[in-house]
Chain A
Amino acid sequence: SQKIEQNSEALNIQEGKTATLTCNYTNYSPAYLQWYRQDPGRGPVFLLLIRENEKEKRKERLKVTFDTTLKQSLFHITASQPADSATYLCALDVKTGANNLFFGTGTRLTVIP
């Protein structure tokens, strides 16, 4: 069956450290992989998209890698800040008609001051 797993439900790290979140998937062939941020009581907000032929993508303090052989994406936040505390969702885009997304359950990140 198809599955998207994000490594842990919750992750606590110290301010200033690098947070690394993992997204593993089985039985999908995504053309793209996206990461979203969700704050409590709010809808997800798009952060980054990486294509299947890209190995790495960066945006400010964020870095995403995508390994289609391992079927894994890593999401890094460098120099983490308490304001980075949120739930982070990975989403697979399998390039169907309306670009449907299949979401993981998310990892709740807490950055401790």
Chain B
Amino acid sequence: DVKVTQSSRYLVKRTGEKVFLECVQDMDHENMFWYRQDPGLGLRLIYFSYDVKMKEKGDIPEGYSVSREKKERFSLILESASTNQTSMYLCASSLRGSHEQYFGPGTRLTVT
């Protein structure tokens, strides 16, 4: 079974803090994704990576950066957290050439 884990289920941070969200997958998947999910807006892609050290912007990359130093790990960084980044963050992975994505349990981030 594919397992995607995220470092925290719940996180509370203050405005202006630097925030790291970690995602690890154990199935040697090439592709990894970061989404945020907000009521009425659905899942929106922030960044994705199709290989180590590679990254591509998704639909809403502003205010975020990512890091992929190892194949199994994909980190999302909020350089200076703002209240409008309060959301559910979901990480996903997929095998190159495959279409189904495997999601982690999500991190609910609150920025106060």
On chain A, the residues within 8 Å of B100 by CB distance are: 34, 46, 49
Binding site for A on B (CB under 8 A): 4, 31, 33, 35, 40-45, 48-50, 56, 58, 90, 92, 94, 98-106
Q: How far is A44 from B104 in the complex, measured between Cα atoms in Å?
A: 8
The residues in A between 39 and 68 inclusive whose CB is less than 8 angstroms from any CB of B are 41-46, 49
Q: How far is A66 from B98 in the complex, measured between Cα atoms in Å?
A: 19
Asked if B48 and A45 make an inter-chain contact with CB atoms under 8 angstroms apart, the answer reads no
Asked if A99 and B42 make an inter-chain contact with CB atoms under 8 angstroms apart, the answer reads no
Smallest CB separation, A23 vs chain B (Å): 12
Binding site for B on A (CB under 8 A): 4, 32, 34, 41-46, 49, 89, 93, 97-106
* Nearest-CB residue, chain B, relative to A105: B42
Chain B, interface SS category: strand
Smallest CB separation, B15 vs chain A (Å): 25
Q: How far is A43 from B33 in the complex, measured between Cα atoms in Å?
A: 13
What are 26 pairs between A and B in contact, CB < 8 Å?
A4-B42, A32-B99, A34-B100, A41-B106, A42-B105, A43-B92, A43-B106, A45-B103, A46-B100, A46-B101, A46-B102, A49-B99, A89-B43, A97-B50, A97-B56, A98-B31, A98-B33, A98-B50, A98-B56, A99-B98, A99-B101, A101-B45, A102-B45, A103-B35, A103-B43, A106-B42
* Nearest-CB residue, chain B, relative to A33: B99
| 5 closest Cβ pairs, A-B complex | A43-B103, A105-B42, A103-B43, A46-B100, A98-B50
